[in-house]
Amino acid sequence: MTAILPPTDAGLAEACRILAAGGLVAFPTETVYGLGADATRAEAAAKIYAAKGRPSFNPLIAHVADLDAARREGAFDPVALRLAEAFWPGPLTLVVPVAPGGTVAELARAGLTSVGLRVPSDPVARRLLAAFGRPVAAPSANRSGHVSPTSAAHVLADLGGVIDAVIDGGPTPVGLESTIAAVDAGRITLLRPGAITRAQLGMVAGQTVADADAGDAQAPRAPGRLSAHYAPATPVRLNATEVRAGEALLAFGPKLPPGADRAREILNLSPSGNLTEAASALYGGLRALDACGAAAIAVMPLPAEGLGEAIADRLTRAAAGAPLT
């Protein structure tokens, strides 16, 4: 049985009780729902991997209440500090070297000497982290390879009966996972694009931000960036300029492509062409179209600038992963 907890003091107290007992509690953040466990205990982190059905141990992000707590876990050089001060609380994960005396379990870090840290801005997440008082390891609260959940109902669809509880804080506003930036010796590497854009990171740090995919063998990797990581079961066809027989349409903007009238179903991420609105609607839209029995999901082209980089990243992965159900 998975308890559905309200985001009240009583609900959060129950969530803390479960976490302290080594259990699993899904909770809202401003990006997507996370599947939380006490990050300081290996056996609690192990339950996350089992519940998600992750094929291999993949480092987990440790969520903390504030920068002070983060600095007890990770070593922040001046560049990392500047990014944290500019963007926390918020949808940015910083991968930094583990601090001496850091408490995040080695299993939660997948044995790495770095740790992914994040101070979320969602008020329910912040209250939970402050009340629990220890880092909470949390990947997205979906079965491995599925689309990340942006509502408590999505969490229950994937993990109902498998986890102890979910705190229902309503839909998540950003809708895409956090930006992940590794900072080592003052150099920033973008491991995963997100709502904090490459340009914003570069501006604050006064440097150009390299991409981990650009081939630097020394760059830290985000192992979760596998091609099949965000996949619906239905094949996804990108940059569709027409709708083919049997397809559903994931639309963007006011003007629909030829053939839209015969689409199995149409979901418009943002009729006005707004990328923020599109990001928050993306995963719910993919889930809805995945369930309508279409032969494929045709996705209209979206602009690639700013937040569009993160949306394109997730859509490319959805398309690449589609044959693997």
Binding region for ligand TXA (CB under 6 A): 29, 31-32, 34, 58-61, 93, 95, 109, 112, 114-116, 118, 138-140, 177-178, 180, 191, 220, 222-225
The site that binds Mg ion (CB under 5 A) totals a number of residues, namely 1
Nearer to ligand TXA by C-beta: 32 or 296?
32
144 binds, among Mg ion, ligand TXA, none (CB under 5 to 8 A by kind): none
20 binds, among Mg ion, ligand TXA, none (CB under 5 to 8 A by kind): none
Distance (Å, rounded) from C-alpha 172 to C-alpha 198? 22
Q: What is the largest CA-CA distance in the chain?
A: 61
Shortest distance in whole angstroms from residue 265 CB to ligand TXA: 27
Nearest to 233 by CA among 290, 193, 276: 290
Q: Are 279 and 252 in contact (CB under 8 A)?
A: no
Shortest distance in whole angstroms from residue 185 CB to Mg ion: 28
Helix orientation angle between 275-290 and 152-159, rounded to the nearest 10 degrees: 30
Q: How many helices (H) and strands (E) does the chain have?
A: 9, 15
Stretch of residues binding Mg ion (CB under 5 A), selected from 77-85, 137-145, 192-200, 293-301 = 137-145
Query: What 3-state DSSP class applies to 165?
Result: strand
Nearer to Mg ion by C-beta: 181 or 249?
181
Nearer to ligand TXA by C-beta: 112 or 295?
112
Using a 10 angstrom Cβ sphere, with 0-12 exposed, 13-18 middle and 19 or more buried, the burial of residue 261 is exposed
Half-sphere exposure for 19 (CA within 13 Å, toward CB): 27
Stretch of residues binding Mg ion (CB under 5 A), selected from 139-147, 158-166, 264-272, 276-284 = 139-147
Shortest distance in whole angstroms from residue 173 CB to ligand TXA: 12
Nearer to ligand TXA by C-beta: 16 or 60?
60
122 binds, among ligand TXA, Mg ion, none (CB under 5 to 8 A by kind): none
Distance (Å, rounded) from C-alpha 102 to C-alpha 93? 17
Range list of β-strands (E), 252-305: 266-268, 296-299
Instruction: Fill in the per-residue mask, 189 to 218: x = in contact with Mg ion (CB under 5 A), - = not in contact.
Output: ------------------------------
Distance (Å, rounded) from C-alpha 201 to C-alpha 82? 10
Nearer to ligand TXA by C-beta: 80 or 95?
95
Distance (Å, rounded) from C-alpha 301 to C-alpha 148? 21
Residue 187's identity, in one-letter code, is R
Nearer to Mg ion by C-beta: 97 or 116?
116
Give DSSP secondary structure letters for 51-63: HHT-SS--PPEEE
Q: Binding of Mg ion at residue 140 (CB under 5 A)?
A: yes
138 binds, among ligand TXA, Mg ion, none (CB under 5 to 8 A by kind): ligand TXA
Distance (Å, rounded) from C-alpha 15 to C-alpha 168? 11
Using Cβ positions, the residue closest to ligand TXA within the complex turns out to be: 224
222 binds, among ligand TXA, Mg ion, none (CB under 5 to 8 A by kind): ligand TXA
Nearer to ligand TXA by C-beta: 138 or 322?
138
Q: Are 247 and 264 in contact (CB under 8 A)?
A: yes
> Cα 167 from chain centroid?
17
Shortest distance in whole angstroms from residue 33 CB to ligand TXA: 7
* Pair of tokens at residue 126: 């912040």
2 binds, among Mg ion, ligand TXA, none (CB under 5 to 8 A by kind): none
Nearer to ligand TXA by C-beta: 178 or 268?
178
List residues near Mg ion by CB under 5 A. Answer: 140
